[in-house]
Homo-oligomer: A and B are copies of this chain.
Amino acid sequence: MLGELHITTPPPHGGHLVDRVIRDPDEGKKMADGCSAVYDIKPTLYKDMPIRNVYREIMSICYGFFSPVEGSMRSEELERVLNERRLSSGWVFPYPMLFDISKEDLKKLGVVPGDRLLLRLKGQPFAVLDIEEIYNIDPLDVTTRTFGTVEKNPEVVVVPFDEKHPGYTIYKYFNTEVLAGKYTIINEPKLKPPFDRFWFPPAKSREEYKRRGWTTVINHQTRNVPHVGHEALMRNAAYIGDTKPCDGIQVNAIIGAKRIGDYPDEAIVESHEMVNLAGYVGPKRHLATMCLWDMRYGNPIESLLHGIIRQNMGCTHHMFGRDHAALGPYYDMYAAQTLWEKGIPSFGFPKPPYAVEKGLYMRPQNMAEFWYCPHCAEVTYSESCTHKGEFQRFSGSFIRSLLAEGIFPPSVIMRREVYQIVVKWWKQFGYPFNNKKYLTEREKELEVDLPKMEVPKFK
């Protein structure tokens, strides 16, 4: 007998959900008043374009998406993450989380360990950073060790990283000075529409699952408007579960700095919601959510973060396709699936993340490909359908080129209702995809508004 293997709602990663949000404005103000300096958060730029904004990391940390991480990492923890993908506490974590500033800014601020630094966003107090350590990094070294190299990670790294890789660029253009310490949000931001209704921080998502009677929940990672192939992946992956298919299917969209030619984030979240509103996977079984994070496209490394985010949200399963969170030829197309099936020793995983000490509870669902087959007259799975010469692969760039030409995509490619969401935002932004104007304005506006909070000391 295999034993009574009933899968239960997973514990938060590290044991408890981080909640570092002050909800009482008076208390928040008091904390701001106690700060010794103020710093205005600015995006990381690359060729004049915003590629990262640390505010998103602060949000994801303080609302518990990245539990058990509580702030910007100390130098000893950074080393351990880069060497073993482990926090100081031993819990698995994939990426450096750093509050990096320039030498000039550090000089201007004049802060030292023990100081509390006020972080301002869009001109308003947003969070504080309780400085524990100040140290400097070699961004190129951090970058290389974050993503790996062909020599050191031969199991999965195929081509050396370069500046065509957005994640590589993000880390390479980090500032050299790091302020390490815990973040606390002292002035709770308001998510703007349409993002507000997709905002389910872990404590809230867990409540929502409970309300819906969901125990087994599979997560679908997205940074796209769903075509019929994505929808099939999502629906079919969810037939995994315990003694029956998963109770719930969660889509979690990564919302953050995007590239020219991507779909606007607004269209991404609303089009996924439309999958349930239009009844393809009804709202009782489907939940569209989001997480703030500037995608690093780290494939296996990113998949670990995805596992952590979604385990914290309460998911029991995570689907991983080929080229998960990948871009370009750098990683092997099965890198994330390899990690979740047998581990990647060179990244610190002699076994999969759910089989190592202080690893994840989350179970993977490694999926092959879906394509449209005219013989089967439906979307079919590459491991089942054998109609070679007949089936046709879904191509995101083909679909984008149809849309850019104003061609209504056939329903075997994109659902009518999903397409209407693309059109809705197309009308709003003047183009179906992100252009420079959209990206620049989005970065100014961000996804949140901050309530006014007076801190006379830093007027």
Contact = CB atoms under 8 A, between A and B. Distances in A.
A352 B242 CA distance: 13
A365 B238 CA distance: 12
Interface in A233-258: 235-241, 243-245
Contacts of A1: 354-361
B341 A243 contact: yes
Interface in A365-404: 365-368, 375-381, 383-387
Interface stretch (A42-50, A69-77, A168-176, A275-283): A275-283
Contacts of A360: 1
Chain B CB within 10 A, most for which of A282, A367, A379, A383 = A383
B384 A281 contact: yes
A408 to B, nearest CB: 16
Given A352-B4, A365-B244, A235 B340 contact: no
A236 B285 CA distance: 17
A411 interface: yes
Contact of A387 (B279, B367, B380, B381): B279
Nearest to A342: B243
A238 B237 CA distance: 10
A231 to B, nearest CB: 10
Given A2-B363, A236-B239, A243-B341, 19 more contacts: A1-B358, A1-B360, A2-B354, A2-B361, A3-B354, A5-B354, A235-B381, A235-B384, A237-B239, A240-B245, A243-B340, A243-B363, A245-B367, A279-B386, A280-B376, A280-B380, A280-B384, A286-B384, A378-B379
